[in-house]
Amino acid sequence: MTAAPVIDIANLDLVFQTNDGPVQALKDVNLRIGKGDFVSFIGPSGCGKTTLLRCIAALETPTSGRLTVCGISADEARKARSYGYVFQAAGLYPWRTIAGNIRLPLEIMGYTRAEQQDRVQKVLSLVELEAFGRKYPWQLSGGMQQRASIARALAFDADILLMDEPFGALDEIVRDHLNEELLKLWRRTQKTIAFVTHSIPEAVYLSTKIVVMSPRPGRIAEVIESPLPRGDRPLSIRESREFLDIAHRVREGLRAGHAYD
């Protein structure tokens, strides 16, 4: 990891105040993500993955600690439109068609009409929703809505992609397909990607760095650098020795954070 850190997190704490007393969601998080890294976050449900991603995107303000993105504050980076964010829930606007939803960031960022058209078509076919551009969100299945929200984040050129369980509601085959496409896109564009997933194989297959988190309070338990090649990764790599080794390490790390077994 020779590149200068794009995301630099030091001693980050975050406490939510609730009706029921404070909840410590993140505790003493330290992490550096270099330019062009593909970082996966994995950890038990409720350990703070979403919260950490939201901090990076300046949607949540840490209680203490330091967080810089490309040397500037997260909020400035947000204002510079550095992020593409795929939320855990699809969050499509019900008054826009699917194509309209995908076009939304393009309109906001001032792409020309022709380019909007072009990009919408491209990402729609990437997530295999060509036939559904003119439908409204409530007319789509759950997985289709999730794919539409992925398409929305991929439609414009953000340097940093933050993806919160983007493939959770997809079947294995579409998932594999989108994994490959995402890797291609990443290699082509040299984006920095932060990716939350619950699938250990997915994390290992995609990432250059895997962050294992443990809950209550959310901490980073382990950071695993992947020895897999940054370049070409065929799906078959998932049967390789190295792959299975890392997957094992991740599983052990995860298990440590759980109470049972």
Partner 1 sequence: MIERFRTLAAILTVVAVIVVVWYAFAVVLNSRWEYDQAARAGVQIGLPELIERTLAQDRPMLPAPHQVLAGLWEGVTRYAPTSRRNLVYHAGVTLSATLAGFALGAAAGLLLAVGIVHSRAMDMSVMPWAIASQTIPILAIAPMVIVVLASLGIKGLLPKALIAAYLSFFPVLVGMVKGLRAPDGMQLDLLRTWNASRATTLFKLRLPASLPYLFASLKVGIASALVGTIVAELPAGATMGLGARLLSGSYYGQTIQIWSALFAAAILAAVLVAAVGAVERLVLKRMGLAR
Partner 2 sequence: MSWQGWAAIAFWIAATMLNCHIANRWYRSRWARPFVATLFGVTLLVLWEGLVRGLNVSPVILPAPTVIAARFAQSLPLLWGDFTQTILKGALSGYLIGCGAAVLVAILVDRSPFLRRGLLPVGNFIAALPIVGIAPILVMWFGFDWQSKAAVVVVMVFFPVLINMVAGLAATDPLQRDLMRTYSATGRQSLLYLCLPAAMPFLFNGLKIATTLALIGAIVAEFFGSPTRGMGFRISTAVGQLDLPLVWAEIAVAALAGSGFFGLMTLIEKAVTFWHPSQRAAGRGA
Residues that bind a copy of itself (CB under 8 A): 16, 18-20, 23, 42-51, 88-89, 128, 134-136, 139-144, 146-147, 164-165, 168-175, 177, 198-200, 251, 254-255, 258-261
Site string for partner 1, 14-53 (x = CB under 8 A): -----x----------------------------------
Enter the tokens of residue 42. Answer: 């994995």
Enter the tokens of residue 43. Answer: 């950890």
H or E element that contains 135: none
| Shortest distance in whole angstroms from residue 30 CB to partner 1 | 24
Site string for Mg ion, 46-75 (x = CB under 5 A): ----x-------------------------
Q: Where are the beta strands (DSSP E) in 38-110?
A: 38-42, 64-69, 72-73, 83-86
Partner touching 260 among ligand ATP, partner 2, partner 1, none, CB below 5 to 8 Å by kind: none
Site string for ligand ATP, 156-175 (x = CB under 6 A): -------------x------
Counting Cα atoms < 13 Å in the Cβ hemisphere of 29 gives: 38
Phi, psi (degrees; rounded to nearest 5) at 39: -105, 125
- Going by C-alpha positions, the residue among 9, 26, 30 that lies closest to residue 223 is 30
CA angle 155, 159, 164 (to 5 degrees): 70
Site string for Mg ion, 134-153 (x = CB under 5 A): -------xx-----------
CA angle 113, 121, 235 (to 5 degrees): 140
- Going by C-alpha positions, the residue among 195, 133, 190, 129 that lies closest to residue 157 is 190
Candidate segments 93-101, 119-127, 211-219, 245-253, binder of partner 2 by CB under 8 A: 93-101
Tell whether residue 83 is a contact of partner 2 (CB under 8 A): yes
Residues that bind ligand ATP in the complex, under the rule CB under 6 A = 16, 18, 23, 25, 43, 45-51, 88, 138-144, 169, 218
